Structure 1
């Protein structure tokens, strides 16, 4: 009898805890700058991926602002609960992402995470050294001209192994051709850098990384008349950025021309 009562007591405690947990999840606190508002978490769980109508209404500057806000949420660990299963089902019916991001292959740069973005919101192209080639340009053109993305972002990062290897002149199989695409950035950085222009110098690696991003943007404009025209018509933005691995922050180069 005592054992039976003990079991009932434990079950009651578990039930109470579950109720409290559900209550705690019911509301989520968001800081909007001037005010703190309470938003029903169940509404967050039901957040949809973009429809074509919603995508059409977005301006490129809106998307850029959203990426900045998403990165701020990431660095401040202010993450949203999402119903991933539901988003997967809805995304199967079509996709209308906000942006296309060219990132390095590096596993320490989880693109969707650092912009606090969910399924169906971003096209992500990944290749070592975030270099530009015809296939990547074709992917970007598809993302913007066909699928309606409003922004092209070239994203480099600190401590990039491809950048270091290019500085060192590494030659190995097909990697050699890839690294050759980074060498122009190495050359530009060496013309202006004050200090040791070697891969063991983090400052020089950072300088090459920034130049690689900016030269990548210039190459997109030069080799893709489609994207250049869309940018001229203000249908899209083409911007660059560098991800800081120590802080998680993304520094934008919006004026890269």
Structure 2
């Protein structure tokens, strides 16, 4: 995936394993190399930015890469049934869900529709963490939610997402403890096209 992302950044993708023969190879089953849980943002098409082919990635996406029962079930399926050895949790800059979460903390912002509000609620702890850290470093610098750095909120939310996955999935934590699985949290930079690792848990091999 690292090499594929480098090809994408250089503008030299190979578009591997996307032909008729590959389709036929996958008719009776799949054995993806990794599971990727990322934001639904249309600019983050996983197989494109990592230059992967059919059957290479088991992809789960929702707005803001927010943990839910369906996400946990999908990742546990990838680990326990498909045997993936790597989970990539992918956030990105200029995330609309992060921006909506930050804006929602302003009393003058109109309430979000219920389902969207439920989604962005998972990002609010990261907002509070960033506010606390920012205020500790520079007292008086945070007068309203808009004073916060959205990129930093996204980074903290990425780490919270990985922590929540570990807290709520015994299958994932057991696989990590047994040396069968690693998790990488990464942030995708839209302008560069580069996925930048931010954290890692468990066995992660190049």
Fold in common (TM above 0.5): yes
> 8 Å contact 2:103–2:145 — kept in the other structure?
yes
Contact 1:112/1:118 (8 A) holds in 2 = yes
* TM-score, scaled to structure 2: 0.86
- Give distance in 2, aligned partners of 1:96 and 1:198: 48
Contact between 2:182 and 2:200, CA under 8 Å: does it hold in 1?
A: no
Unaligned runs of 5+ in 2: 105-110
For residue 197 of structure 2, what is the aligned residue in structure 1?
Answer: 252
Residue of structure 2 in register with 1:206 after alignment:
151
CA 190–256 in structure 1, closer or farther in 2 if over 3 Å, else same:
farther
Q: Within 2, Cα distance between the matches of 1:214 and 1:190? A: 16
Stretches of 4+ aligned residues off by more than 6 angstroms:
none
Shift in CA distance, 198/149, structure 1 to aligned 2, threshold 3 Å: farther
Alpha-carbon deviations, 1:173-199, whole Å to 9, x = none?
311111111111111111112555767
Q: What SS does structure 1 have at the residue aligned with 2:149?
A: helix
Higher helix share: 1
In 1: Cα distance, 2:15 partner to 2:197 partner: 26
Alignment CA distance shift 1:210-1:171 (3 Å) = same
Query: SS at the partner of 2:114?
Result: coil
In the comparison of the two structures, how many residue pairs are matched? Answer: 190
Compare CA radii of gyration and give the structure with the larger one.
1
Q: Provide the rounded CA distance (Å) in 1 between the counterparts of 2:150 and 2:143.
A: 8
Is residue 2:124 matched to residue 1:177? no
Q: Cα RMSD (Å) of the superposition?
A: 1.9
Residue 243 in structure 1 maps to residue 188 in structure 2: yes
Q: Which of 211, 216, 225 is the matching residue for 2:161?
A: 216
TM-score by structure 1 length? 0.69
